Amino acid sequence: MPLTVKRLGNLIGAELIGLDLTQSLDEATVAEVRRAWLDNLVLVIRGQDITPAQHVAFSERLGDPERGNALSHYNHPEHAEILMVTNHMINGKPSETRNTGRQWHSDLSYTLRPPMGSILHAREIPEVGGDTMFSNMYAAYETLSPAMQAFLDPLQAVHDFMNSKDMARRDPVTVEAMKQRTPPVAQPVVRVHPETGRRALYVHEAATTHIEGLTPEESRAILDFLFRHCETHEHIYRHRWQLHDIVMWDNRCVSHIALFDYSHSSPRHMLRTTLIGTPSGSVRSRGTPADLRAVAAG
């Protein structure tokens, strides 16, 4: 069956129709999927009742899945490539991934090989709610004035795993271990996509603490403006999940947020693979808590 691409948004998002991930894919089909992904940034593949092993196999056709990062203690017990984003109980305790992604972010931007993409499979969804929104970061950059583009192009911003509000809801011992494994990383404020050559904004509220070379007040003002600008409705696709949806997004040019518009009394169980990207960024030392609060407060 030939593949059909059905656009879901004006600037971002498309449904890929005709793909069956329970079957092996030939090289031509994989090339079609990759082309549709690059063109649309977010792809939705409906009705994929697949096993975790099939999820991993599909991911491996598109890239090299991540197998160890700051969240690897929530990996699937039989598949290290899969992160469980779930509100199921884990070892008798509420899962610490149940509130993951409540701020706009690009996955693992605080690493030296930030992901090329993420592939999320909906195994259980709430009765209502649980939407995810995606923002086109090409468009966010391209709709800035030429003067602002020229100002931002050479700048670096620091991304710190510890900046996320989610850290306050996690076990302190686990957070400390994650902190030691994950130092801050400076990334380009404007990142050039390694495959398309297009420029995209690469800052987000969950991890970006400050822009290097600016005062805290200047940095806060610029980042607050950019965060709001990236949330412009015209840049966004909002996905309403159906059971066994696969949604895949390009982290190099997409920011996203998981909306908490549902109750944890309703199960939500999602499995995510994350594809390793090209090297980017450089390590920075972490400031004291007082330093970070000063930057955040401006």
CA-nearest of 3, 2, 6 to 40 is: 6
Q: Count up the domains in the chain and report the number.
A: 1
Beta carbons of 43 and 134 less than 8 angstroms apart = no
Of the residues 55, 79, 98, 107, only one is catalytic, namely 107
Give the pLDDT mean for 228-254.
97
Confidence band of 70 (pLDDT split at 50, 70, 90): low
Q: In which residue are the tokens 């039989």 written?
A: 78
Domain with residue 106: its CATH number is: 3.60.130.10
Average pLDDT over residues 73-100: 87
Helix axes 52-62, 27-40, angle to 10 degrees: 80
Catalytic, 256? Answer yes
Distances 179 to 55, 76, 110 between C-alpha atoms, Å? 29, 22, 11
Q: What is the DSSP string of 94-112?
A: E-TTTTTT-S-B-TTTTSS
Strands 79-86, 269-275: pairing kind? antiparallel
Residue in the structure block whose two tokens are 């196999």: 57
User: Is 107 known to be catalytic?
Assistant: yes
Report helix, strand or coil for 172: helix
**Residue 72, pLDDT score:** 63
Q: Strand 236-239 and strand 93-94: pairing?
A: unpaired
3-state SS class at 192: strand
Whole-angstrom Cα distance, residue 43 to residue 123? 17
- Average of per-residue pLDDT values in the chain: 91
Average pLDDT (92-112) is: 91
Domain that residue 104 falls in: 4-297
List pLDDT tens digits, range 30-47: 999 999 999 999 999 999
Number of C-beta neighbours around residue 267 at 10 A: 14
Q: Which pLDDT band, with edges at 50, 70 and 90, does 131 fall under? A: very high
The pLDDT value recorded for residue 2 is 85
Q: Which amino acid, residue 22? A: T
User: What is the mean predicted confidence (pLDDT) over 56-63?
Assistant: 98
Helix or strand holding residue 218 (H, E):
helix 216-230
Instruction: Out of 55, 220, 256, 268, pick the active-site residue.
Output: 256
pLDDT score, position 81: 94
Return the minimum-mean-pLDDT range out of 57-71, 83-97, 277-291.
277-291
Calpha distance 59→262 (Å, rounded): 29
pLDDT bin (cut points 50, 70, 90) of residue 254 is: very high
Distance of CA 267 to the CA centre of its chain: 22
* pLDDT for residue 295: 37
In the residue annotation, 244 being an active-site residue is answered as no
| pLDDT, average across residues 234-259 | 98
pLDDT tier for residue 209 given thresholds of 50, 70 and 90: very high
